[in-house]
Structures are given as C-alpha cells and as structure tokens.
C-alpha cells in the first residue's frame, strides 16, 4: 500500500491512512511487562524475587532475594520466562519480581 491509501479501521469506524493503521497495530502488538513496583521489564534484564516461591514439580523453594539473570518476555504481560540452576522451564509471575 502506498501512503495515499486509506483503509477502514473497524475499531474507530473511520477511514484512516494505511500507515497510521499499521503503526497503531504495531503498538498494540507490543506487550508491556511491569514488575511489582511498576518498572518496565525487557528481555535480558535481571530481577530479584520479592517473595518466597514454591516451585511446582521441582520440590524446591526459591527464597526472597534470589537473583534471576537474563529473563525473556513471553506474549503474556503477567509472565516472564527465565533459567535457574536445576529448574528447567521456569516461568514467574511479574508481580513477584523486582527489576535489579
């Protein structure tokens, strides 16, 4: 599509320029993940646990203050994927971590 093309935006019910609609859809697709304090998290950040967490299936408890390195964001704004020694496929809720 060229910049002069207009498309119908079903959300607003109006005809808008194609480039504006594409920018709006790209912004909506970006997931914003925030920690317990409200800091924005990104891939590769380090986080600290703010609560003792029992890990289901691992028979282990992660203690408050544990440092988790190199997190990865998932498509869910409430979950982060991370690695920890001895635990594979660890997914934490963003409400239980603080950005370091």
Is residue 1 predicted with pLDDT exceeding 60? Answer: no
The pLDDT of residue 2 is above 70: no
SS3 letters for 11-65? CCCEEEEHHHHHHHHHHHHCCCEECCCCCEECCCCCEEECCCEEECCCCEEECCC
Residues in the chain: 100
Each residue's pLDDT tens digit, 57-98: 888 899 999 999 999 998 888 999 998 888 888 999 999 999
Domains of the chain: which residue ranges? 1-30, 33-99
0.75 cut: is pTM over it?
no
Class of domain 33-99: mainly beta
């Amino acid at each position: 599509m060229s910049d002069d093309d207009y498309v119908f935006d079903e959300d607003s019910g109006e005809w808008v320029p194609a480039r504006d609609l594409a920018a709006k859809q790209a912004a909506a697709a970006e997931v914003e993940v925030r920690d317990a304090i409200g800091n924005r998290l990104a891939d590769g950040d380090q986080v600290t646990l703010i609560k003792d967490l029992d890990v289901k299936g691992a028979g282990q408890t992660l203690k408050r203050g544990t440092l988790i390195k190199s997190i990865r964001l998932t498509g869910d704004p409430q979950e982060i994927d991370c690695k920890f020694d001895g635990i594979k496929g660890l997914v934490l809720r963003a409400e239980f971590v603080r950005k370091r």
